[in-house]
Structure 1
Amino acid sequence: MHIELSRHSSTKLYSQIAVTLGDRIRSGLLTPGTKLPSVRNLSAQLSVSQVTVSKAYAELESEGLIACSQGKGCYVSAGAGKDQTGDEADLSWQLSLMDYLPRAQLWHHFNHVLPARYQFHKAAIQEELLPTREIVANAYKMLSDDPALMANYGSFSGDFGLRKALASVLNGSGMSVTAENLLITSGAQQGIDLVARTFVGPGDVVYMEAPSYTGAIDVFASRGAKIIMVPMDEEGMRVDMLTKLCDLNPPKLIYCIPAFHNPTGVTMSVRRRRQLVDLAQSYHCLIVEDDPFSSLYFNEPPPHPIKCHDQAGHVIYIRSYSKTLAPGCRIACMAAHGSVLSRLIAAKSTTDLGSPMMTQKALQPFIETRLEQHMEQLRTVLRRRLQLALTVLRKHAPAELSWNVPEGGLNLWLKLPAYADPVSLERRAEQAGVSFLPGGVCYAGEADSRHIRVSFTYPAEDKLQEGLKLLCSLIAESRTASPERKPVL
């Protein structure tokens, strides 16, 4: 178990230890009942005093994440993370294996969440709304007509025909790219990981919006980056605050989701987009523009991507087609220029020798002929579901619950009343068959948030209305559900 300590940071060492262990516990990497290293052993491993480790353990115990007993040691509390699998074998020796996963919230909240009747935790689209049958038919025809495709490796950059089709789509949104400027990846998540593994190392400064996409935080944290989160307002990331922070901590990379931001739904203004490019030029750093939602607008399209303002190759643009077409195909593209692109392709080649040809070829004809028609139909349905969700909230939500109305995307970002404890609410919601994403996992190093993210696009319309009514009642009941806990401020 690796714990990266910054001995020149203003954050106390014991607090750094507590944050790292706390993230592992909340992510489920340290399961309930796991015995933590002794104070003596961990202090020797980290070259810190035993007092420092004792303070870290005391902080974790005060948060209810671990329980310590004189003479027995410290164990992960039963209520922290997820329950154990039932395997009674003693696997405590595994903690002696060094790993470099400081947190895994994406895995914890999406792959191991208990089945729920009302699934609001997934930023996804209901299966029935996706063109999967047509894509499967394309794959079958492609394999029947040319089975030799399965006998050869594809290009590390991705199939040229698909890249050409995607370049045409991106140019329709204001960009100027060719097939040679694109790299196909296995979803946007792989794209983010390729950027991190290529350009981010221990101690490098990565700026992100506060809050931000959980999966990106996990990736940059695993590289040992110093993640600094920048507050947002109605125009997106506060570039004025970012500029002041950059004077103290020069950036290696700025990660943002400018269109229908995940999780808040906010869209970055044109002014802020241009300011970001100017700032990147000043500091010779990279901007990673993650764009999974820009085509899912409900009224007017969002502004042109940040990449459109980039003249010197500072922006790496990522657009995923997993959510809107076929999550099982795991297809996204990255647009970059110069040696930045070359290095990303080299990183991709060492990862998987190129994305699978079958899924690329299956998606190509749909993207060439049916993409825009499908997106128009999808926008109509999702706009109606947003209105359904807002109608339920306006009628049934407690007066203290608030939210912003997004202009596109998949999510609602709800601000809980002061009396509602997110941890208790999540536990009671899970028991009632309702799942949501706790806002705390959308921050780096912060355990609590008075927000939760609710996706209104994955459940069917009847489940959407039923589930939101139930969630509203659970939030209202929070006033008396956990009187022993202090409100989260």
Structure 2
Amino acid sequence: MHIEIQRKAEISLSKQIYQCIIDHIRSGLLQEGEQLPSVRELSKQLGVSLVTVVKAYNKLEKENFVESIQGRGTFVTTEMQGKVDTEQDMLSFNWQLSVQDYLPRSQFSQFHYVPEKIHLSSSMIDPGLLPNRYLEREINQMISENPKLLSQYGPIQGDEQLRFAMYEYLKGLEVPTKPENILVTSGSQQGIDLVARTFVGPGDVVVMEAPTYPGAIDVFRGRGATILTVPVDNDGMRVDILQNLCDKYKPKVIYTIPTFHNPTGAVMTLKRRKQILNIAQSIQSIIIEDDPYSEIYFDKKPPVSIKSLDEYGHVIYLKGLSKTLAPGCRIGILAASGSIFKRLLAAKSNIDLGSPLLTQKVIVPFIKSRKMKDHTKKLRTALKVRRDLVLSILSENAPSEISWIIPKGGLNLWITLPSWIDSNHLLVKVKKQELTFLPGSACYAVEHENHHLRLSYSYMNEQLLHRGITILCEILQSEISLKKEHNHPPYF
């Protein structure tokens, strides 16, 4: 079990240990029944006092994440992890616990492929809304006409036709770049990883929004970065707090999702976009602008990208096509300039020597044609209907103690619960009704806030959405009524 201690952080060492172990449990890296290192072992491994480790373990035990058994040790007991191995299997593989890993957390491993019937935990689009038949025909035709595609490596930078097509597509989004400054990636997640591998090392300061996209937290934590967080309000990242942090710590990277922020749905104002760019320029920082679905707006177009305002190459722009076009193709692009781009290209060559050529070729005709615009327009209409359905059901059935942010685009709805309800424990209850969501704690890099949850309304059809949101409201009503009756919260 890898625990990264940041001695210069403002959070105490015992709390860092406590949070890291919780991250391992919620990521499935520590399963129910697994034994934690002894207090003495962990103290020696981390170079901290016995008292520090004891304090962390006591807090974990008090909150029922672990159980200490006299003479045997401390074991994971949280009900949030299912038993995936038999007792005999656990004994057979116990030797593996001695192999050191360097994974601080992997939150999405628990929510991408789940057995629940009503899947509201991942930002994915209903396959029925995607151009699957068209892409199927393109694949068959392409292989038929050019079977050598299957035996060819593509260029490391990405297929030239696709880069030109994406250059034109981005021009329509008012994102200025050039084909030679575009790098094709295996989804936006690889784009984040490329930047982290290239520019972030142990102790480097990375500023992120709080809350933010869990996959980005996982990547930067894995690089040993010191993560500082800035709250998000209805207008995006709080620039006043960002300025104070930048004055004090001079971060190397600022990661932001300015348009239909994941998970809150907030849209950063144009004024704040300009302010963040000015801050980055003044301290020579890199901005990662993650733009997964700015095309999916419901009312009016969002402000222009931060990349469009950038004159000196501070912004690395990421655009994924997995969300809106073809998840199975795993195609995204990274746009940057200058030596930053050259170094990212070198990193890409070290990782995989280039993304699969066939999937790049398949989507080129679609992106270049009118079909892409028509498809995006239909997506906006269909997802707005689903968003409105969810908002309507919540308005009619949710307890008055529950609040939410109305998203103006994107795929997600951010819900805030009473502070005494832990969404991780709530998840255990709703799973019994074949329903799942993303607990808000997965979206926080530093201080865990447990009384939020993210619902993705984009994957389920309207019938299942109606059922799922109704079930959630009923469970919340029950828990709040129970609390009022007994005058104490059911979750601690």
Greater mean alpha carbon deviation, residues 364-373 or residues 395-404: 395-404
Q: Post-superposition shift, 1:418?
A: 4.3
Q: Contact 2:124–2:459 (CA<8 Å) still a contact in 1?
A: yes
Which residue, out of 100, 103, 107, partners 2:102? 100
How do 1:72-221 and structure 2 match up within 5 A? Answer: 72-86=72-86, 88-89=88-89, 90=91, 91-111=93-113, 113=114, 115-221=115-221
Alignment pair present for 1:44 and 2:39:
no
| 1:146-175 alpha-carbon deviations (Å, 9 max, x no partner) | 112222211101000000000001011112
Greater mean alpha carbon deviation, residues 265-274 or residues 54-63: 54-63
Q: Contact 2:421–2:489 (CA<8 Å) still a contact in 1?
A: no
Alignment pair present for 1:12 and 2:12:
yes
SS in 1 for 2:408: coil
SS in 2 for 1:67: strand
Q: Contact 1:420–1:475 (CA<8 Å) still a contact in 2?
A: no
Q: Post-superposition shift, 1:9?
A: 3.3
Number of residue-to-residue matches in the alignment: 487
Which residue is 1:327 aligned to? 327
- The one-letter amino acid of 1:476's match is Q
Which residue is 1:25 aligned to? 25
Query: Aligned in 2, Cα 1:480/1:423: closer, same or farther, shift over 3 Å?
Result: farther
Q: Post-superposition shift, 1:42?
A: 1.8
| 1:419-457 alpha-carbon deviations (Å, 9 max, x no partner) | 534233211100011111111110013343221111111
Q: Post-superposition shift, 1:95?
A: 2.2
| 1:232-270 alpha-carbon deviations (Å, 9 max, x no partner) | 111100011100111121111000111111100000000
Q: Post-superposition shift, 1:132?
A: 1.1
How do 1:344-383 and structure 2 match up within 5 A? Answer: 344-369=344-369, 370-383=371-384
Q: Post-superposition shift, 1:78?
A: 4.5
- The one-letter amino acid of 1:435's match is T
How do 1:263-278 and structure 2 match up within 5 A? Answer: 263-278=263-278
Q: Contact 1:448–1:488 (CA<8 Å) still a contact in 2?
A: no
TM-score by length of 2: 0.96
Aligned equivalents of 1:213 and 1:385: distance in 2? 22
Query: Aligned in 2, Cα 1:388/1:487: closer, same or farther, shift over 3 Å?
Result: same
Query: Aligned in 2, Cα 1:117/1:2: closer, same or farther, shift over 3 Å?
Result: closer
Aligned equivalents of 2:250 and 2:383: distance in 1? 40
Q: Post-superposition shift, 1:84?
A: 3.0
SS in 1 for 2:111: helix
Alignment pair present for 1:467 and 2:461:
no
SS in 2 for 1:206: strand
Query: Aligned in 2, Cα 1:418/1:477: closer, same or farther, shift over 3 Å?
Result: farther
Query: Aligned in 2, Cα 1:310/1:415: closer, same or farther, shift over 3 Å?
Result: same
Q: Post-superposition shift, 1:488?
A: 7.6
The gaps in structure 2 that reach 5 residues or longer are none
Q: Post-superposition shift, 1:47?
A: 2.4
Aligned equivalents of 1:27 and 1:481: distance in 2? 30
Alignment pair present for 1:443 and 2:444:
yes
Greater mean alpha carbon deviation, residues 9-18 or residues 367-376: 9-18
Q: Contact 2:366–2:372 (CA<8 Å) still a contact in 1?
A: yes
Aligned equivalents of 2:217 and 2:333: distance in 1? 20
- The one-letter amino acid of 1:471's match is L
Aligned equivalents of 2:476 and 2:144: distance in 1? 54
SS in 2 for 1:324: coil
- The one-letter amino acid of 1:479's match is I
Aligned equivalents of 2:490 and 2:230: distance in 1? 24
Q: Post-superposition shift, 1:87?
A: 5.5
Q: Post-superposition shift, 1:318?
A: 0.4
| 1:367-418 alpha-carbon deviations (Å, 9 max, x no partner) | 1111111101111111111111111111111122111211100111111134
SS in 2 for 1:302: coil
SS in 2 for 1:88: helix
Percentage of matched positions with identical amino acids = 48
Q: Contact 1:235–1:266 (CA<8 Å) still a contact in 2?
A: yes
Which residue is 2:416 aligned to? 415
- The one-letter amino acid of 1:209's match is E
RMSD, matched Cα = 1.7
Aligned equivalents of 1:447 and 1:28: distance in 2? 17
